[in-house]
Structure 1
Amino acid sequence: MTTTATKPRGEYAKTAKRRDDIVTAALSVFSTAGFVSASMSEIAKRAGLTLPGLRHHFASKFDLLQEVLFRRDLDANKHLEGREGIDLLRGLVEIASRDQGDSLTQMFAMLAAEATDIEHPAHDYFQGRYDLIVGTVQRALTEAAAEGTLREGHDPDRLARAYVALSDGLQLQALYRPAAFSQAELIKEFLEEFLTVPL
């Protein structure tokens, strides 16, 4: 009983490690080639696998993309879960700090541009992601207004869309000049222009 109880855990650990290696390789390929031009063969090569070996873990490039996006969202949720109003806005600054120099940021910038094509497999994901981000920031600003910490005369919806435009624009600029500025500081300064308390 002891032997059979420990063996699956060991096999599971090996499988989880292998999947992590594949996702890391996919991130590298997606970040340089984008999704459309990326090949499963190249991802398999970078992960130290044969193509059939890769397909044992991820049947298609789209399955692999979904896992990459899921892991990115999971990390973002850690910064925002259970937070409201001003506290949620502080979480946005934390995410901006995470994005600085993060290899995933380059991949997201490339995929977001590619996915404007309605036929792109990640089109619905990015459309939903933008709706979610705008809605989440709008809700936080509305809560800040109710708390009296949003300056009067500012529309939460317009500010939320301005935040998303600034955040995406800064990520794109940082790809050209990675250490030229702090995304977190600029996001913080932007939000504080409309708040009565510091972040």
Structure 2
Amino acid sequence: MAMTKKARGEYRKTSRRREEILDAALEVFSRVGYLNASVTEIARSVNLTLPGLSHHYPSKAALFSAVLERRDLQAQEILSGRRGVDVLLGLIAIAQRDQADRRATRLFAIIAAEATDSGHPMHTYFRERYAMVLKDITRTLDEAAKAGHLKPGVDPAETARRYVALSDGLQIQALYDDDASEVTSLLSYLQEIVTVDLHVED
């Protein structure tokens, strides 16, 4: 059965409302972290009661997961269809996105540190996320090596770990320096390990 105009309108309204909630949640989580975040404050900032917010997201964990999922889906869209060296350019595009929104950078810096505690609600998420990112970048570098685009002696697994460490470190530094650009440093690092010129769009 086709969706009625009223149903489509309600869906769009609900979708917009959820986006507003996620924007508000990102603001709060990026400022105080997960453990100190108040769902009441998030609800109040979008003129909702706690039951009203729970209608969209039943728990703080579900709300936080939705914030992360939205960012991850954006990253997946950037990387979609890319292979080998082109994936590396996609990683730079993601870094450009993050550099333009310091809230997301603060969010990951705060929560990733909090979640090192095995009892933290997001511990498993971040552990699995780091494992997935390392695996994906290692595979990307393997593909680049097979295509002859990786310099001799570059180990894909070790290089992937160094890239992630460099990216995380540069993002934290940038939080203390508004003029710092992690994109420039990441691009410079990648250029040192590949045999082709990496051209990044502004």
TM-score range, shorter chain: over 0.9
Match of 2:114 in 1: 114
Q: For residues 56 and 92 of structure 2, what CA distance do their matches in structure 1 show?
A: 35
Cα offset, 1:178, TM superposition: 2.3
Say whether residues 1:94 and 2:93 are aligned partners: yes
Residue 76 of structure 1 is matched in structure 2 by: 75
Q: Distance in 2 between matches of 1:17 and 1:96?
A: 26
Correspondence 1:163 to 2:146: no
Letter in 2 for 1:92: L
C-alpha separation in 2, matches of 1:167 and 1:178: 16
Q: Provide the C-alpha distance between the structure 1 equivalents of 2:121 and 2:21, rounded to a whole number of angstroms.
A: 20
For 2:145, the equivalent position in structure 1 comes to 145
Q: Deviations over 1:40-94 (max 9, x none)?
A: 1001111111112111111110110111111010011011122111111111111
Q: RMSD in angstroms over aligned alpha carbons?
A: 1.4
Task: Provide the rounded CA distance (Å) in 1 between the counterparts of 2:107 and 2:196.
Answer: 34
- Asked whether the 8 Å contact 1:101–1:178 carries over to 2, the reply is no
TM-score scaled by length of structure 2: 0.93
Equivalent residue number for residue 61 of structure 1:
60
Aligned counterpart, 1:30: 29
Is 1:124 equivalent to 2:108 in the alignment? no
- SS of 1:37 mapped into structure 2: coil
Secondary structure at the aligned position of 1:151 is classed as coil
Instruction: Structure 1 unaligned segments of length 5 or more: list them.
Output: none
How far apart, CA to CA, are the structure 2 residues paired with 1:140 and 1:10?
A: 42
Aligned residue-pair number: 196
What does residue 179 of structure 1 align with? 179
> Which residue in 2 is equivalent to 1:16?
15
| 8 Å Cα contact 1:31-1:110 kept in structure 2 | yes
Distance 2:125 2:77 in 1: 19
**Partners of 2:162 and 2:75 in 1: CA distance:** 20
CA shift for structure 1 position 101: 3.1
> Counterpart of 1:36 in 2: which secondary structure?
coil
1:170 Cα deviation from its structure 2 partner: 0.8
Instruction: Provide the C-alpha distance between the structure 1 equivalents of 2:176 and 2:10, rounded to a whole number of angstroms.
Output: 42
More helix by share: 1
SS at match of 1:149: coil
- Opposite residue 127 of structure 1, the aligned amino acid is R
1:190 aligns with 2:192: no
Question: Structure 2: any 5+ residue segments left out of the alignment?
Answer: none
Return the alpha-carbon distance in structure 2 between the equivalents of residues 58 and 141 of structure 1.
38
Give the 4+ runs in structure 1 shifted more than 2 A: none
What TM-score comes out, normalization by structure 1 length?
0.94
CA distance in 2, matches of 1:16, 1:112: 28
CA distance in 1, matches of 2:171, 2:42: 25
Residue by residue, what CA displacement relative to the aligned partner does 1:127-172 show, whole Å, maximum 9, x if unpaired? 1111111111111111111111111111111100000000000111
